């Protein structure tokens, strides 16, 4: 069974009018809160409870960054943060629509997974009755259960692109040669998932709406879907819409499943995230199998690769 995440990380742009409220939320957190001096930050705090430890940084450019260890504390904080940012439940879009999201982007080991679901009003009610929400607020075990159920029960209404490390590394290298970056790769993946569903659902009446959790400047993805009869909506905190939340859960389920398969194949539990544990495990594996093992299990462009190989192993 896949264990609880040791490393967690999250970032979101905080509107200027919401920053005071978010700061009060962090400062008044019921567990131990210690201020930190951090460059380019309006404020920074370290929150600790038992073995859980998170660092919250509010940068002057508006980005709030949360990083550390402890899934329980992390999920508590994210739940309160999203509640603080949401004045009311968001208005649902006109059904049907495609929601997409990805998993594994910040994890050194394992694949990048991009998933999408085609959500009708009937399926929205069904998913709500199952308790579907943003995968970041749920345990790995719950994501494995619900993600598998969503993919199985929704059938052709769900689609996923699983880029295992070897394929991911080849694609990343190709995009880099073309002067592009990770956001361009993500846009390529999200567009493939949306277009796959559009081709599959030929009976769907226009407009074909796609809601994507925004990961880059809007033009990056819009350029790949323009002129294809798709109404594209890119929004921060896209998981507030149940279609995007369902996609995030399918993506997380497939990421966790494939990470577990890689772990079994290599004979070592590959940790999630990108923390120091990933480096120590990587050094052991490189010593045992050689440098090429990273092609099969890791996203090589991460700085972790340099750290792993810097010890002369």
| CATH 3.30.310.10 intervals, the chain | 8-85
CB atoms under 10 Å from CB of 4, counted, come to: 13
Query: What's residue 93's pLDDT?
Result: 55
Strand partners, 234: 212
Query: What's residue 262's pLDDT?
Result: 98
Q: What is the pLDDT of residues 27-61, one digit of tens each?
A: 989 889 999 999 999 999 999 998 889 999 999 99
CATH number for region 97-258: 3.30.420.10
Q: Are 230 and 260 in contact (CB under 8 A)?
A: no
* DSSP β-ladder status, 230-235 and 208-213: parallel
Tell me which fold the domain 8-85 belongs to: TATA-Binding Protein (3.30.310)
Q: Is the pLDDT of residue 120 over 80?
A: yes
Query: What's residue 3's pLDDT?
Result: 31
Q: Distance between CA atoms of 213 and 15, rounded to whole angstroms?
A: 17
Q: Are 6 and 69 in contact (CB under 8 A)?
A: yes
Which carries the bigger pLDDT value, residue 71 or residue 187?
187
Query: What tokens appear for 277 in the block?
Result: 């544990």
Strand partners, 117: 99, 158
Query: What's residue 246's pLDDT?
Result: 95
Q: Distance between CA atoms of 67 and 301, rounded to whole angstroms?
A: 20
Query: What tokens appear for 185 in the block?
Result: 């790769």
Mean pLDDT of 287-299: 97
Q: What is the pLDDT of residues 225-274, one digit of tens each?
A: 988 889 888 887 788 889 999 999 999 999 999 999 999 999 999 999 99
Q: Can you give the pTM of this predicted structure?
A: 0.71
Q: Distance between CA atoms of 309 and 257, rounded to whole angstroms?
A: 27
| CATH 3.30.420.10 intervals, the chain | 97-258
Strand partners, 52: 49
pLDDT-based confidence at residue 82 (cuts at 50, 70, 90): confident
Strand partners, 65: 11, 57
DSSP string, the chain: -----S-EEEEEEPPGGGHHHHHHHHHT-SSEEEE---TTEEEEEEEEETTEEEEEEEETTSEEEEEEE-HHHHHHHHHHHHHHH-SSPPPPPSSSEEEEEEESTT-SBS-EEEEEEEE-HHHHHHHHHHT---GGGS-HHHHHHHHHHHHHHHGGGEEEEEE-HHHHHHHHHHHHHTT--HHHHHHHHHHHHHHHHHHH-TTPPSPEEEEEE--S-HHHHHHHHTTSSEEEEEETTGGGSHHHHHHHHHHHHHHHHHHHHHHHHHTS-PPSSSSHHHHHHHHHHHHHH-TTHHHHHB-TTSHHHHHHHTT--
């Amino acid at each position: 069974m896949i264990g609880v995440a040791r490393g967690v990380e999250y970032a979101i742009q905080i509107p200027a009018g919401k920053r005071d409220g978010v700061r009060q939320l962090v400062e008044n957190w019921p567990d131990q809160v210690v201020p930190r001096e951090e460059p380019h930050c309006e404020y920074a705090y370290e929150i600790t409870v038992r073995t859980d430890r998170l660092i919250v940084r509010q940068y002057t450019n508006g980005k709030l960054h949360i990083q550390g260890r402890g899934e329980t504390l992390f999920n508590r904080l994210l739940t309160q943060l999203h509640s603080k940012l949401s004045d009311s439940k968001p208005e649902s879009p006109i059904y049907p629509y495609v929601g997409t999201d990805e998993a594994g982007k910040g994890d050194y080991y394992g694949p990048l997974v991009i998933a999408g679901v085609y959500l009708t009003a009937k399926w929205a009610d069904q998913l709500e009755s199952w308790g579907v929400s943003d995968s970041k607020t749920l345990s790995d075990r719950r994501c494995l259960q619900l993600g598998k159920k969503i993919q199985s029960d929704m059938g052709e209404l769900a689609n996923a692109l699983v880029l295992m490390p070897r394929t991911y590394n080849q694609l990343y290298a190709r995009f880099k040669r073309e002067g592009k970056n990770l956001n361009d790769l993500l846009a390529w993946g999200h567009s493939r998932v949306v277009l796959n569903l559009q081709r599959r659902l030929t009976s769907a009446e226009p407009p074909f709406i796609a809601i994507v959790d925004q990961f880059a400047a809007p033009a990056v993805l819009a350029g790949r879907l323009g002129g294809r009869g798709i109404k594209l909506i890119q929004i921060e905190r896209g998981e507030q819409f149940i279609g995007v939340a369902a996609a995030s859960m399918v993506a997380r389920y497939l990421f966790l499943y494939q990470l577990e398969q890689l772990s079994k194949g290599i004979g070592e539990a590959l940790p999630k995230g990108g923390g120091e544990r990933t480096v120590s495990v990587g050094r052991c594996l490189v010593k045992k199998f050689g440098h090429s093992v990273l092609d099969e299990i890791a996203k090589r462009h991460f700085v972790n690769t340099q750290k792993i190989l810097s010890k002369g192993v």
